[in-house]
Amino acid sequence: MKALTQKRRHPFAFVALLLLGLLLSGGLYAAATTVNQAQASNGAAEAYSAEQVEEGERLFVANCATCHGMDAEGSDAGPSLVGAGAASVEFQVGTGRMPMQMQGPQAQQKPPQFNDEQTTMMAAYVASLGAGPAVPDDEYLDVDQGDAARGGELFRNNCAMCHNAAAAGGALTEGKYAPSLDGVDEVDIYTAMTTGPQNMPVFNDANIPPEDKRDIIAYLKNDQFQANPGGFSLGSLGPVSEGLLIWTLGLALLIGSMVWLTSRSS
């Protein structure tokens, strides 16, 4: 007992306990994350048929392998898609960002090159390659079940610093930007949160649960139908556009007044 007491008073005992606590907490978090990813992967694999996976592979080889490699393991021109999940294909291909029209700071949105059925097939193939985010169930895209007020709070805490408090978008570094969320489909908003395209962070189910993601989507859809009680929205960019308008109109009025006064005095 005396020896144990002496060891507890050892100057390095606190450090050892701290390291042990960090190892245990890190191990538990990694295990929980792995379980969630495995469950998502299993659900995604079961959602598609073997025919969809096979046809998706054909489409991939014909249209995507130039950049992502024949086995989707990546190349100098494009990243690996192993573990990217079906949600990544749904977002990138479904919004027309992929295949890219040209190399640049970030993929530009354009009319989709593939229809919904073809996109689903390619998503099935990518989902078969490894664990990754799955396309959400319809219940998490139903904004009627969401809480728009709570979604607004979540949006302001997690998204407004890039997308603007009014979801009008904003500039980022090195020519990149956070796009406007006006008119974006529910599934595209959800899959963007789970995959983190471009500079966007990944909000997995441990960060923002599916129900909270639905609340954010409900807020964004509700916000699109709100009027501007203060008058013109001016792009909903806040004090920048408002200040520019005030200075421009103010200077114009001052110059006009000076011209009018001087012309009358002469």
Helix (H) or strand (E) holding 170: strand 170-171
Both ends of the chain: CA-CA distance in Å?
A: 106
Return binding residues: 64, 67-68, 159, 162-163
How many whole angstroms separate alpha carbon 35 and alpha carbon 141?
24
Residue whose token pair is 């507890």: 8
Question: Judging by beta carbons within 10 Å of its beta carbon (0-12, 13-18, 19+), is residue 133 exposed, middle or buried?
Answer: buried
Residue whose token pair is 């992502």: 68
Helix (H) or strand (E) holding 178: strand 177-178
Return binding residues for heme c: 64, 67-68, 159, 162-163
Helix ranges restricted to H, 47-183: 50-63, 65-68, 85-94, 116-127, 148-158, 160-163
How many whole angstroms separate alpha carbon 257 and alpha carbon 194?
56
Q: Do 122 and 75 contact (CB within 8 A), yes or no?
A: no
Q: Which two tokens stand for residue 155?
A: 């949006």
Helix (H) or strand (E) holding 220: helix 210-223
